[in-house]
Chains A and B, each alone.
Chain A
Amino acid sequence: MTDPIDQLLSQTGMADDAQLRELLTELQHTSTSVRPLPSAELSALLVTSPRRSAAHRRRLAITTLVVAGLVGAGATTAAASPDVRAATGQVAQAVVGALLPGPASPPPASTAPPQAPVPGPSEEAGHNRPAPTDHPDSTNHPEPTDHPVPSTTSHPGETESDTHSNSETPRHTDAPHKQSSGASPNS
């Protein structure tokens, strides 16, 4: 967004007036430097605790269960077939790599690709995988940013005139600005 002071000065043809710019900049700085404290009622509506910890713990617990299951399955089948053990290890690495944060590393190439199908537990674990993504932390951003989730009705590329001409702008959904009627947004 262009600086509102730049916009204002250029729209009024006073972009070169250093005194005015200094005055407006001072006004903006002193007037917006105080962050008010939310009341208790308002605080209850704000997201104050990061959600990362809870989600992260849940994901870690799921990962632990999956790995434990795979290790158990691998141990029971180890004596029967070394190929199965190797395949189980590969699956475990893939699951851990997909679920834990950090750069995903592909499993090391095996000289003996699995010949036998992975037994039940590992297949089940694969189905129960909790929606892994390429970026495990992408849904767990801890702090709100200056770029909130855009509204489905927002139009990022629209201009000021576009905004003004939008019949769904708040002007038509609320009448707090009707001074003559004295209508309050809460009334």
Chain B
Amino acid sequence: MVGDTSDRSRDQTIAGRFTVAYNSLSPRVFGYLRSHGVDDPEAVTNEVFLALYQKFENITGGDDGVRTMTFSIAHARLVDHTRARATRPMSVPFEAEADPRRSPSAEDLAAENIGDYGALALLHTLGAEQRETVILRVIGGLSLDETAQVMSKTVGAIKQLQRRALESLRQTLGEGYAHD
């Protein structure tokens, strides 16, 4: 009897914490996946949190640990998605304006003036690792250490990636506005 009550209380605590984690992190996970051009970011977001729930009880490190684990799972799903996409053709209709993978010209950038798609498009002028670093930090809200953990790199490597990424973005911004 006491054991049942204890188990129920523990389950309620886990469910409550998991709900808080979902409410706070799901928009970021969705944005992370969408910014990488995942076909169905909502479905993959659901998969990420279902996988997170399986591990939730054993996650240590409080909120930081939950956030890091969530994006570790999302990162792994992204890798799976990228590999799967490389082996089969995409069947979604092409919309040039909404496709975050396109590399816009400087004229495009100046015309869009960093609109919704302009910001994502600018991001896709970066190399894959630089882009992932910026996305994890800005959209994922991860710290330097957490980003290093998710990408399996050292903190020093992440510092270098993010510095080069921002320098590249700044240069691209300057070129775009120079044509304005």
Contact = CB atoms under 8 A, between A and B. Distances in A.
Interface stretch (A56-64, A85-93, A115-123, A140-148): A140-148
A42 B44 CA distance: 12
Given A148-B20, A164-B145, A20 B166 contact: yes
Nearest to A37: B42
Interface in A151-187: 151, 153-156, 158, 160-161, 163-164, 166, 168-171, 173-174, 176-179, 182-186
Contacts, number: 229
A35 interface: yes
Given A4-B142, A179-B79, A26 B114 contact: yes
A33 interface: yes
B69 to A, nearest CB: 4
B162 A163 contact: no
A48 B23 CA distance: 11
Interface string A8-41: 1101111001011011101110111111111101
A154 B63 contact: yes
Given A31-B139, A42-B46, A177-B151, A156 B22 contact: no
Contacts of B119: 23, 26-27, 30
Contacts of B62: 150-151, 153-156
20 contacts: A8-B166, A12-B162, A20-B169, A23-B119, A23-B173, A27-B123, A28-B139, A31-B28, A31-B138, A36-B29, A37-B42, A38-B46, A45-B53, A151-B65, A160-B144, A163-B61, A164-B149, A169-B61, A182-B79, A185-B76
Interface of A: 1, 4-5, 7-9, 11-14, 17, 19-20, 22-24, 26-28, 30-39, 41-42, 45-48, 144-146, 148-151, 153-156, 158, 160-161, 163-164, 166, 168-171, 173-174, 176-179, 182-186
**CB-CB nearest 4 A-B residue pairs:** A154-B62, A176-B76, A31-B31, A164-B145
